[in-house]
């Protein structure tokens, strides 16, 4: 269910682009992201920082796209978001000596500290990869190709989530077995 909530703004964006243009699609993306944020708030009764930042960036970059009639803003928004997330996670881990990923998810996952550190580095690498690939497609391909990439590029987060799940599964299994063996 959550995947559908996360995916529907992009799906509507692509559909609006196919039936209209990038500017229509941008307006639809802005509206869909506001609705998505409202649904998430309605379900969780709160918003995570990433959801707030995503909404802010979609609205700011979307408004710039529409006001200046320049599609580059909406095309570069994902690169800015992913690069920002990588920078924040990296600065937190290596400068402030805080593991934001563990702070956010530690109550849901019981993992050893070194695993949290490796997981954060993996997330940093993933965000940098996504920033780079979006930037590359936005810079060197047509808007049509970029929109198609936004739709089919969802394979990257799916593969990342599955890979992350496989990585942490062995640590979760050990905790479960240790708890039942007593």
Q: pLDDT grade, residue 84 (50/70/90)?
A: very high
Same domain, 119 and 55: no
Domain boundary among 44, 68, 92: 68
The pLDDT score that the predictor gives to residue 136 is 98
Same domain, 83 and 118: yes
Q: To 5 degrees, how large is the angle CA 155–CA 13–CA 34?
A: 105
- Angle subtended by helix axes 22-44 and 72-94, to nearest 10: 40
Cβ atoms 85, 100 nearer than 8 A: no
Same domain, 76 and 160: yes
Same domain, 91 and 107: yes
Same domain, 79 and 131: yes
Query: CA-CA-CA-CA torsion for 132, 156, 3, 168, nearest 10 degrees?
Result: -110
Q: pLDDT grade, residue 182 (50/70/90)?
A: very low
In which domain, by residue range, is 53 found? 1-68
Domain boundary among 24, 50, 68: 68
User: Could you give the number of structural domains in the chain?
Assistant: 2
Domain boundary among 68, 96, 125: 68
Task: Show the tokens assigned to 20.
Answer: 């209209």
How far is 145 from 168, CA to CA, in rounded Å?
Answer: 35
């Amino acid at each position: 269910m959550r995947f559908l909530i996360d995916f529907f703004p992009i799906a509507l964006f692509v559909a609006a682009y196919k039936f209209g243009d990038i500017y229509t699609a941008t307006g639809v993306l802005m509206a869909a992201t506001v609705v998505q944020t409202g649904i998430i708030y309605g379900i969780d009764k709160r918003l995570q920082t990433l959801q707030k930042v995503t909404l802010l960036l979609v609205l700011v970059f979307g408004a710039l796209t529409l006001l200046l009639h320049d599609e580059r803003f909406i095309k570069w928004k994902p690169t800015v978001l992913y690069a920002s997330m990588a920078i924040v996670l990296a600065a937190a881990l290596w400068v402030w000596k805080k593991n934001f990923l563990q702070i956010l998810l530690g109550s849901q996952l019981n993992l050893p500290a070194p695993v949290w550190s490796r997981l954060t580095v993996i997330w940093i690498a993933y965000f940098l990869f996504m920033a780079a690939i979006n930037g590359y497609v936005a810079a060197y391909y047509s808007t049509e190709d970029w929109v198609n990439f936004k739709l089919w590029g969802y394979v990257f987060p799916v593969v990342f989530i599955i890979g992350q799940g496989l990585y942490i599964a062995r640590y979760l299994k050990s905790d479960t077995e240790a708890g039942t063996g007593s």
